[in-house]
Amino acid sequence: MANSNILRGATGAAATAAAAAPGTHLGLRDVLGEPAWHRLPAAVRARFSEPVLAVDYVGEFDVVRASPLGRAIAWVCQAIGTPVVPRTGRNVTAIIHVGPVSKGASWLREYHWPRGDTHKVHSTKVIGPNGTLTEELPARLRMPLDVYERHGVLHFVSKGYYFDIGFGLKIHLPGGLSPGTTHVEHIDEAEGWFRFTMTVTHPVLGEVFYQTGRFRAAKAQGDRP
């Protein structure tokens, strides 16, 4: 079922991209295709509509966990800009800052730990002129994504990783040496809340990272941690 949803989304994106005039800006609606876009709840469509609006989502992660391998990867990756959070815990207060940038949509997850410690994980979702979606991470690490709708839930699934070293050159990470497949789910819940769940699964070693939490748009300064 998931593969058929991906195929429908990819087909819609390809048709839209092919019809788009040069210089036309594409959004997630174009990537998904019209049928899949309209199967999403209205609140999800509003969060991912164009143009991208600046908004802070406040809430907490129920769980932030990592395997021993995941903790080692997160610790080492602090040297290249913290693409994954280097701590674990429960009931972790957080803010997700979303806003427009020249290349696409900026997503900054800000984790507030006990005793005042804070970690920030930043990425940018960029849609290419051919309708492909890529997550741009620190140190020029790139993560191409499949995106699809299933039962009203929005899914983002990685299709590998590579370093963009410029001049059209890429260094791809072999599957066994990458952290694994990243799967993010955006699940709408009642009264403005949504659930963000991220799972990273290595093809041999299993789960490497997992986090899930509930968030809603900040209504006032008092909503912030």
Domain boundaries, the chain: 2-218
Superfamily of domain 2-218: Calycin beta-barrel core domain (2.40.128.20)
Please list the residues that pair with 110 across neighbouring strands.
Answer: 95, 120
What is the reported pLDDT for 7? 47
Angle at 122 between CA 89 and CA 144, to 5 degrees: 105
Q: What is the pLDDT along the chain (225 residues), one digit of tens a residue?
A: 444 454 445 444 544 544 455 556 799 999 999 999 999 999 999 999 999 999 999 999 999 999 999 999 999 999 888 899 999 999 999 999 999 999 999 999 999 998 889 999 999 999 998 899 999 999 999 999 999 999 999 999 999 999 999 988 999 999 888 899 999 999 999 899 999 999 999 999 999 999 999 999 998 556 666
Please list the residues that pair with 188 across neighbouring strands.
Answer: 194
pTM score of the predicted model? 0.87
Helix (H, G, I), strand (E, B) or coil at 149: strand
What is the reported pLDDT for 23? 59
Q: How far apart are CA 77 and CA 115, in angstroms?
A: 23
What is the reported pLDDT for 33? 96
Please list, residue by residue across 193-217, b when 16 or more beta carbons sit within 10 angstroms of its beta carbon and e when fewer do: ebbbbbbbebeeeeebbbbbbbbeb
Q: Is the Cβ–Cβ distance between 50 and 42 less than 8 Å?
A: no
